[in-house]
Amino acid sequence: MSVKYRLAPEHRLPAASDDAIEATHFIKNSEVWFKEHADYSSCYVMGQSDGGFSGAIRTKFESLSIDDDPVIPLAVNDLLWYHALPVGAARDHEFCNPTVGGGSKLMDRMKLIEWSVMVI
Protein backbone atom coordinates (compact mmCIF):
# COMPACT_ATOMS: atom_id res chain seq x y z
CA MET A 1 0.00 0.00 0.00
CA SER A 2 1.37 3.40 -0.87
CA VAL A 3 0.10 6.42 1.02
CA LYS A 4 -0.16 9.65 -0.91
CA TYR A 5 0.19 12.14 1.88
CA ARG A 6 -0.11 15.89 1.59
CA LEU A 7 3.19 17.65 0.95
CA ALA A 8 4.72 20.99 1.93
CA PRO A 9 4.79 23.84 1.18
CA GLU A 10 1.12 23.69 0.14
CA HIS A 11 0.31 21.55 3.18
CA ARG A 12 2.70 22.24 6.01
CA LEU A 13 3.23 19.90 8.92
CA PRO A 14 1.38 18.20 10.58
CA ALA A 15 -0.51 17.34 7.36
CA ALA A 16 1.90 14.61 6.19
CA SER A 17 2.21 13.09 9.67
CA ASP A 18 -1.56 13.14 10.17
CA ASP A 19 -2.06 11.43 6.80
CA ALA A 20 0.50 8.71 7.60
CA ILE A 21 -1.03 8.03 11.02
CA GLU A 22 -4.54 7.98 9.53
CA ALA A 23 -3.41 5.44 6.91
CA THR A 24 -1.90 3.26 9.63
CA HIS A 25 -5.14 3.35 11.60
CA PHE A 26 -7.06 2.55 8.40
CA ILE A 27 -4.95 -0.56 7.80
CA LYS A 28 -5.30 -1.71 11.41
CA ASN A 29 -9.07 -1.21 11.46
CA SER A 30 -9.73 -2.14 7.84
CA GLU A 31 -12.43 -4.29 6.48
CA VAL A 32 -12.05 -7.84 5.22
CA TRP A 33 -9.56 -7.30 2.36
CA PHE A 34 -6.53 -6.42 4.51
CA LYS A 35 -7.42 -9.02 7.10
CA GLU A 36 -7.60 -11.73 4.42
CA HIS A 37 -4.51 -10.66 2.43
CA ALA A 38 -2.05 -9.22 4.92
CA ASP A 39 -0.03 -10.96 7.59
CA TYR A 40 0.28 -8.20 10.18
CA SER A 41 3.01 -10.11 11.99
CA SER A 42 5.36 -9.58 9.06
CA CYS A 43 4.35 -6.15 7.76
CA TYR A 44 6.60 -3.14 7.89
CA VAL A 45 5.83 0.50 7.41
CA MET A 46 8.70 2.52 6.10
CA GLY A 47 9.26 5.78 4.40
CA GLN A 48 11.66 8.36 3.22
CA SER A 49 11.46 12.10 2.70
CA ASP A 50 9.19 12.77 5.66
CA GLY A 51 12.02 14.52 7.47
CA GLY A 52 14.27 13.60 10.31
CA PHE A 53 15.28 14.75 13.72
CA SER A 54 17.08 18.04 13.72
CA GLY A 55 16.95 21.04 15.96
CA ALA A 56 18.23 24.58 16.20
CA ILE A 57 21.50 23.34 17.72
CA ARG A 58 23.49 21.36 15.16
CA THR A 59 24.33 17.76 15.95
CA LYS A 60 27.87 16.50 15.43
CA PHE A 61 26.70 14.69 12.29
CA GLU A 62 25.09 17.82 10.84
CA SER A 63 28.16 19.92 11.60
CA LEU A 64 30.42 17.46 9.81
CA SER A 65 28.18 17.18 6.75
CA ILE A 66 27.54 20.86 6.04
CA ASP A 67 29.10 20.73 2.58
CA ASP A 68 29.66 16.98 2.23
CA ASP A 69 26.24 16.06 0.86
CA PRO A 70 26.16 16.98 -2.86
CA VAL A 71 22.43 16.26 -3.14
CA ILE A 72 20.99 17.94 -0.05
CA PRO A 73 23.57 20.16 1.66
CA LEU A 74 22.67 21.50 5.08
CA ALA A 75 21.54 24.88 3.71
CA VAL A 76 19.03 23.11 1.46
CA ASN A 77 17.89 20.93 4.37
CA ASP A 78 17.28 24.11 6.38
CA LEU A 79 15.25 25.55 3.50
CA LEU A 80 13.15 22.39 3.24
CA TRP A 81 12.37 22.55 6.96
CA TYR A 82 11.51 26.25 6.63
CA HIS A 83 8.84 25.38 4.04
CA ALA A 84 7.58 22.26 5.85
CA LEU A 85 7.20 23.55 9.41
CA PRO A 86 4.11 25.55 10.39
CA VAL A 87 4.46 29.26 9.54
CA GLY A 88 6.60 30.97 12.16
CA ALA A 89 7.90 27.73 13.70
CA ALA A 90 11.59 27.36 14.52
CA ARG A 91 13.81 24.29 14.10
CA ASP A 92 13.10 23.28 17.69
CA HIS A 93 9.44 22.67 16.89
CA GLU A 94 8.30 19.15 17.84
CA PHE A 95 7.85 18.15 14.18
CA CYS A 96 11.52 18.82 13.47
CA ASN A 97 12.94 17.82 16.85
CA PRO A 98 10.60 15.45 18.74
CA THR A 99 13.02 15.30 21.68
CA VAL A 100 12.58 18.97 22.58
CA GLY A 101 10.81 19.73 25.85
CA GLY A 102 11.02 16.18 27.14
CA GLY A 103 9.50 14.52 24.08
CA SER A 104 6.67 15.06 21.64
CA LYS A 105 3.09 14.10 22.42
CA LEU A 106 2.74 13.27 18.71
CA MET A 107 4.46 9.95 19.34
CA ASP A 108 1.69 9.05 21.79
CA ARG A 109 -0.72 8.88 18.85
CA MET A 110 1.26 5.96 17.43
CA LYS A 111 0.65 3.98 20.63
CA LEU A 112 -3.02 3.83 19.74
CA ILE A 113 -2.37 1.33 16.94
CA GLU A 114 -0.71 -1.05 19.41
CA TRP A 115 2.10 -1.90 17.00
CA SER A 116 5.80 -1.68 17.65
CA VAL A 117 7.27 1.41 16.02
CA MET A 118 10.93 2.14 15.38
CA VAL A 119 12.04 5.52 14.08
CA ILE A 120 15.57 5.85 12.75
Supply the pLDDT for residue 11: 92
* Confidence bin at 10 (pLDDT 50/70/90): very high
Rounded CA Rg of the chain: 16
The string of pLDDT tens digits covering residues 72-90 is 777 887 888 889 899 998 8
* Cis peptide upstream of residue 98 (ω within 30 degrees of 0): no
**pLDDT value at 50 more than 50:** no
CA distance 11 to 31: 29
Q: What mean pLDDT is predicted for residues 59-63?
A: 64
**pLDDT value at 32 more than 60:** yes
- Tell me the whole-structure pTM to 2 decimals: 0.60
Higher-confidence residue: 117 or 48?
117
Supply the pLDDT for residue 56: 72
List the alpha helices (DSSP H) in 40-114: 60-64, 74-84, 106-111
